Amino acid sequence: MELSREVGTGIARALTVTASYTPLQVAGAYHFPTSYSGAGYSLGIVELGGAVNDADLEQYFGRLGLPVPVVEAISVNGAPIESTGPGGADTEVMIDIEISATLAPEAKVNVYFGENSEDGFYRAIAAAGGVNPETFEDEGHRNTVVSISWGQPENLWNPDTMDQFNTLLHVLRAKGVTVFTSSGDRGAQDNGGDGLLHTDFPSSSPHVISCGGTELLLDAYGDRASEVAWDIDDTKSASGGGISAHFSGRQVPDISGNASSATGYQILTGGEDHVLGGTSAVAPLMAGLALELSEALGRPLGQVTDLSNFFLTNLGVLYDVTSGDNGGFRAGPGRDNVTGLGVPDGARMLEVLLSGRQLPAPIPLPAVGAAGAGGGIPLPVRGGMNQHS
């Protein structure tokens, strides 16, 4: 099975661009605490293709007047790190780095390149989380935050394989690693190939923060003028989301942020300027926020609180998005399967986190012997993942 990320199957490009923003403009509209830069913390980005373009980074961050982030490209289990050019997976790599590091330019960025297969994907996630992929014992560097923008519709996965990935993600969550994933760019069908509704995995794991998409317009002052669910085309350019067929009761996404290609991000890749969107822009955006909050708190965010439960018990830190659909579900008041609980307000989050009030504690580690733990199910080496954008 070849995993993908829909940014890589055509990166959500708009026929007409209504507006375009730097990541800092979007962060400003969402009141992210951009006076913090992620100093002292690190981000792990999982990639299954492409390479880092240092020249792009120097030019992009130079334009923004920001320090060029320290980025390390890491091959996992001998996976190749090969440039595919601006039309290929390089673009996905640069979106992840440029968006996250614009918010947290002083955080260390570790990019883990795995083989594009289930086994390669699994090992890359484990490496980013700093654990042994078989035993889950601590191994290597543990990043504060992990951003993942690759996956496949649940119907294309083996159920046992999803369980093994889910146990790994459970372990990382319990160790205080906050994992953000993109919910997909093909609406409620998620490109499942059968015309039915599907959620995307690993975004449907209950142990990640699944990130859906909106279309954001700013006013002349840089504030939110309007925000609706992202849906340019129900099956080609819309926020992924729905109800998991595998994990009982799991609904995605959890949160959302600007993803529409009509109001996309200004990105530099291969020396060329582009306006790009997709939910794989939202996962690194939220990863940047988590790094900012970690610096403000003086501890990794995932060691201070369990973010999944934090959002559920502090709905006042989110903007509710109540308009639009994704071809299967409609946005409305409260939680929905298009934009989740809403868009985080970074300032409100920090206020609550610093308030001293009771916060949801990190969850316990899974029992040894659970699927994937301590000699669990061996992963097949099959095709690869899709890129979401």
pLDDT of residue 377: 40
User: Looking at the predicted structure, is the pLDDT value of residue 41 above 90?
Assistant: yes
Residue type (1 letter), 352: V
Which of the residues 4, 280, 294, 389 is marked catalytic?
280
- Closest alpha carbon to 45 in 142, 146, 184, 141: 146
* Beta strands per DSSP E along 160-288: 178-182, 200-201, 209-218, 224-229, 231-233, 237-238, 242-243, 251-252, 255-258, 265-269, 272-276
pLDDT of residue 370: 45
- Closest alpha carbon to 319 in 256, 264, 239: 256
Q: Which residue has the tokens 């994990």?
A: 247
User: Looking at the predicted structure, is the pLDDT value of residue 179 above 60?
Assistant: yes
pLDDT of residue 15: 56
Say which residue, 3 or 337, is predicted with more confidence: 337
Q: Would residue 96 show up in a list of annotated catalytic residues for this protein?
A: yes
Question: What's the rounded Cα separation, in Å, for the pair 75 and 92?
Answer: 17
Question: What's the rounded Cα separation, in Å, for the pair 71 and 287?
Answer: 15
User: Percentage of the chain with pLDDT > 90?
Assistant: 86
Question: What's the rounded Cα separation, in Å, for the pair 290 and 329?
Answer: 28
pLDDT of residue 363: 87
pLDDT of residue 381: 45
User: Looking at the predicted structure, is the pLDDT value of residue 19 above 80?
Assistant: yes
pLDDT of residue 373: 41
User: Looking at the predicted structure, is the pLDDT value of residue 249 above 60?
Assistant: yes
Residue range 86-107, pLDDT digits in tens: 778 999 999 999 999 999 999 9
Whole-angstrom CA distances from 203 to 73, 148, 253 are: 24, 9, 8
- Average pLDDT value for the chain: 92
pLDDT of residue 387: 73
Element (H, E) at 150: strand 150-153
Say which residue, 232 or 376, is predicted with more confidence: 232
Q: Would residue 154 show up in a list of annotated catalytic residues for this protein?
A: no
Which of the residues 47, 90, 96, 227 is marked catalytic?
96
Residue type (1 letter), 61: F
Interval 68-87 mean pLDDT: 93
Interval 261-286 mean pLDDT: 96
Which of the residues 92, 215, 292, 345 is marked catalytic?
92
Helix, strand or coil for residue 191?
coil
Whole-angstrom CA distances from 207 to 43, 222, 262 are: 18, 33, 31
Q: pTM for the full model?
A: 0.94
Report domain extents, the chain. 2-387
Q: How confident is the model at residue 280 (pLDDT cuts 50, 70, 90)?
A: very high
Q: Would residue 92 show up in a list of annotated catalytic residues for this protein?
A: yes
pLDDT of residue 281: 97
Q: How confident is the model at residue 210 (pLDDT cuts 50, 70, 90)?
A: very high
Residue range 354-384, pLDDT digits in tens: 998 889 988 888 864 444 443 334 454 445 6
User: Looking at the predicted structure, is the pLDDT value of residue 33 above 80?
Assistant: yes
Alpha helix positions (H), the chain: 23-29, 54-64, 89-103, 118-129, 159-174, 279-297, 301-304, 307-313, 346-354
In degrees, to the nearest 5, what angle opens at C-alpha 185 toward C-alphas 80 and 166?
A: 65
pLDDT of residue 1: 57
Q: Encoding tokens for residue 21?
A: 């923003």
CB-CB contact of 144 with 42 (8 Å): yes
Report the CATH fold assignment for 2-387: Rossmann fold (3.40.50)
